[in-house]
């Protein structure tokens, strides 16, 4: 069976996912696309032989030739398409973030709960990266004791001058929020954001670099260095310090130029797994709407901590049975 996918938003990553679903992932085909930039949607459809270009995301979701939906538009638009996908009973792969506020993420949890099954997977692709998986397996094996600390870094070569400190947390640090929860298998309970001397490459609306700290339920302390204009490459680091050893990502050699190169295999693996689940009629095995909700709530607490300069508690609602 070929899973026919509709893609909403074909900017940088949406176009890459159209390429991936058209040329890399077996058993998938892109049946329809849309973008508020209609010319861009037409150009992507022409390049990859996509049959339909629709005027809106809602039309993509309603198209009977679309079995499953990828949402890769701007973050604030995700909620409306995810809710429409759930209402149509179609599987939805939503790029991070699931939604930009805790309230919007809760509406997604409520819609899935009412539907009685999980239809949504969130694009936290680091969970599919082989090096991150090795780190997780090394910690889970238990032979180096329990985790005590973690050091992470997320360095981007550059970002547009319109990117704010809040965007840096919601768009970039959100990945470390997710991998912290996934690597350690527990929730983040409080956060702190510190701003050191600023890079001369940063715009005035961006605290760059920034150190975001998380404390987890068992007391593990995580520091995440966010640098958005380091120029030399895309450098992602992660080291989990346990009682008698540590597990860490290997150093990039050479350092990749951007996220598309660094996580290329992870995106492919992520989509192969998602398509296999959709084809088999299974609930998605990847990051759930609960994971998307938790990441959004923690990111919101980080934004609060950025402004207050104080440790800030993370308040998650009770996890619905659907996600236990």
Least CB distance to ligand NAD at residue 149 (A): 25
State the binding partner of 63 from ligand NAD, ligand ISE, none, CB within 5 to 8 A by kind. Answer: none
* Contact yes or no for 79/99 (Cβ under 8 A): yes
Q: What angle do CA 316, 321, 324 make, to 5 degrees?
A: 75
- Site for ligand ISE contains 171 (CB under 6 A): yes
Give the binding site for ligand NAD (CB under 6 A): 8-14, 34-37, 40, 57, 72-75, 77, 95-96, 123, 125, 171, 259
Residue nearest to ligand NAD (CB): 11
Q: What gap in Å lies between CA 33 and CA 30, rounded to an integer?
A: 8
State the binding partner of 172 from ligand NAD, ligand ISE, none, CB within 5 to 8 A by kind. Answer: ligand ISE
State the binding partner of 123 from ligand NAD, ligand ISE, none, CB within 5 to 8 A by kind. Answer: ligand NAD
- The kind and range of the H/E element at 270 are helix 264-280
* Residues 255-274, interacting with ligand ISE (CB under 6 A): 259
- Using alpha carbons, select from 74, 38, 31, 39 the residue that is nearest to residue 55: 38
- Site for ligand ISE contains 296 (CB under 6 A): no
DSSP 2: P
Q: What gap in Å lies between CA 148 and CA 244, rounded to an integer?
A: 10
- Site for ligand ISE contains 224 (CB under 6 A): no
Estimate the share of the chain in helix, then strand, then coil, as percent rounded to the nearest 5. Answer: 40, 20, 35
Least CB distance to ligand ISE at residue 96 (A): 6
Nearer to ligand NAD, 190 or 203 (CB): 203
Nearer to ligand ISE, 214 or 259 (CB): 259
Q: Is 84 helix (H, G, I), strand (E, B) or coil?
A: helix
Q: Measured between alpha carbons, how far is residue 42 from residues 56, 66, 252, 256, 299 in Å?
A: 13, 18, 37, 31, 35
Least CB distance to ligand ISE at residue 122 (A): 12
Nearer to ligand NAD, 64 or 160 (CB): 160
Spacing of C-alpha 137 from chain mean position = 21
Nearer to ligand NAD, 113 or 264 (CB): 264
* Residues 10-69, interacting with ligand ISE (CB under 6 A): none
Q: What gap in Å lies between CA 36 and CA 43, rounded to an integer?
A: 13
Part in contact with ligand ISE (CB under 6 A); list of ranges 47-55, 108-116, 170-178, 292-300: 170-178
Q: What gap in Å lies between CA 35 and CA 23, rounded to an integer?
A: 21
Q: What gap in Å lies between CA 295 and CA 215, rounded to an integer?
A: 14
Least CB distance to ligand ISE at residue 143 (A): 31
Q: Is 197 helix (H, G, I), strand (E, B) or coil?
A: coil
Nearer to ligand ISE, 31 or 173 (CB): 173
Q: Where are the beta strands (DSSP E) in 208-245?
A: 210-216, 221-227, 235-242
Nearer to ligand NAD, 37 or 103 (CB): 37
* Residues 134-163, interacting with ligand ISE (CB under 6 A): 156
Q: Which positions lie near ligand ISE, rule CB under 6 A?
A: 156, 171-172, 175, 259
């Amino acid at each position: 069976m070929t899973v026919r996918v509709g893609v909403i938003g074909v900017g940088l990553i949406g176009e890459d996912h159209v390429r991936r679903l058209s040329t890399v992932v077996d058993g998938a085909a892109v049946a329809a696309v849309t973008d508020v930039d209609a010319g861009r949607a037409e150009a992507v459809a022409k390049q990859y032989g996509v049959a339909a270009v629709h005027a809106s995301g809602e039309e993509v979701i309603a198209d009977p030739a679309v079995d499953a939906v990828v949402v890769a538009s701007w973050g604030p638009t995700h909620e409306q398409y995810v809710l429409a996908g759930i209402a149509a009973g179609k599987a939805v792969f939503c790029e991070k973030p699931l939604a930009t506020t805790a309230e919007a993420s809760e509406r997604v949890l409520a819609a899935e709960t009412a539907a009685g099954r999980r239809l949504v997977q969130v694009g936290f692709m680091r969970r599919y990266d082989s090096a991150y998986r090795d780190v997780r397996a090394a910690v889970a094996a238990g032979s180096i004791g329990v985790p005590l600390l973690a050091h992470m870094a997320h360095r981007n070569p550059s970002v547009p001058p319109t990117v704010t400190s809040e965007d840096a947390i919601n768009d970039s640090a959100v990945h470390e929020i997710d991998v912290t929860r996934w690597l350690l298998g527990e929730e983040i309970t409080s956060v702190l954001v510190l701003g050191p001397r600023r890079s001369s490459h940063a715009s005035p609306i961006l605290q760059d670099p920034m150190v975001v700290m998380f404390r987890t339920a068992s007391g593990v302390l995580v520091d995440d260095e966010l640098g958005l204009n380091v120029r030399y490459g895309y450098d992602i680091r992660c080291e989990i310090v346990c009682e008698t050893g540590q597990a860490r990502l290997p150093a990039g050699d050479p350092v990749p130029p951007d996220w598309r190169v660094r996580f290329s295999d992870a995106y492919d693996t992520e989509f192969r797994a998602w398509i296999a689940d959709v084809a088999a009629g299974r609930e998605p095995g990847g990051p759930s709407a609960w994971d998307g909700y938790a990441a959004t709530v923690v990111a919101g607490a980080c934004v609060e901590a950025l402004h207050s300069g104080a440790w800030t508690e993370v308040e998650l609602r009770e996890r619905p049975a659907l996600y236990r």
